[in-house]
Amino acid sequence: MLSERQLQILESAKRSGRVMVDELSARFEVSVQTIRKDLNELCDARLLTRVHGGAILSSGVENVGYDARRVIAAEEKAAIGRAAADLIPNQASLFINIGTTTEAVAHQLLRHSGLMVITNNINVAIAMRPYPEVEVVIAGGVVRRSDGGIVGEAAVDFIRQFKVDFAVIGASAIDLDGSLLDFDYREVRVAQAIIGNARHVILAADSSKFERSAPVRIGHLDQVQTFVTDTAPPEIRAICAAADVRLVEAGPPAGARNGAATGEAVA
């Protein structure tokens, strides 16, 4: 049986994907030790998974809502967006798939010129549409209500018509063995088509993805050329080194909660 406070904590996690000890302590006016006990009990019940400073929703079969994902690691995603956009030159063609981190990359690409962007992400298309220096091509298919992603065989067939310079892809979860994972097999088919039809694949994903699980396999880290994240665990560093994947660790801006931006590339 869960207490009323634990039920409210669980509801907060479902809305935002993550809850933090200090914020919960202030909200419920109880000690941090009490909140930690609540989180431990929710984790023992396999409803949440503990992470540094709090807990995340532990579901391995259902993703957090798109708007909620936008606020998870928002500073890290902004830094990743800047670092990934810096890797793409003007006058380039590229794919951008569905995801809040890939959307952050798209916003940073608005200062580029002469881009051709093919996307299955309605949010990216809306953000880029007003800019005359970006030609936006949107895939056809089924529009997923939860996040504006365009999925299905029609989208896969559309993507296969192109061979582009770059692809910017995301993942819902990354196993420490390098597996890239997602929740929707239809989106995975689109992501696999994107990987197969780009000359240079950039994976953009924040470090919270190492703490999550998802049931459908997109592929493996060794299939990308560059991985941009805020910080990578040793296992991922080793995979990148062995597979000759360029690892770019882009910390949040100076003064943000995880310290100053590094933007350093690790071979």
- Counting residues of the chain whose pLDDT is more than 90, the rounded percentage is 66
- Residue pLDDT, tens place only, 28-77: 999 999 999 999 998 888 778 888 899 887 655 445 556 666 666 778 89
What's residue 221's pLDDT? 97
Residues of the chain with pLDDT under 50: 61-62, 254-267
What are the chain's domains?
Answer: 4-58 (1.10.10.10), 68-266 (3.40.50.1360)
β-strand 115-119 against 93-96: which pairing, if any? parallel
Write down the pLDDT at residue 66: 60
Q: How many residues does the chain have?
A: 267
State the pLDDT at residue 266: 42
Question: Residue 62 — φ and ψ, nearest 5°?
Answer: -140, 130
> Could you tell me the CA-to-CA distances from 49 to 54, 234, 252 in Å, in that order?
9, 21, 24
Instruction: Please say whether the beta carbons of 225 and 247 come within 8 A.
Output: no
Q: Which two tokens stand for residue 69?
A: 């994902």
Fill in the amino acid letter for 72. Answer: I
Reduce the DSSP state of residue 65 to 3 states and report it.
Answer: coil
Give CA–CA dist 267/263, Å, rounded. Answer: 13
Model confidence, pTM = 0.77
Give the closest residue to 206 by CA, choosing from 259, 139, 252.
Answer: 252
Contact 92, 165 (CB under 8 A): yes
Strand duo 264-266 + 179-182: pairing = unpaired
pLDDT in tens, 159-184: 999 999 999 999 989 999 999 999 88
Looking at residue 264, what is its pLDDT?
45
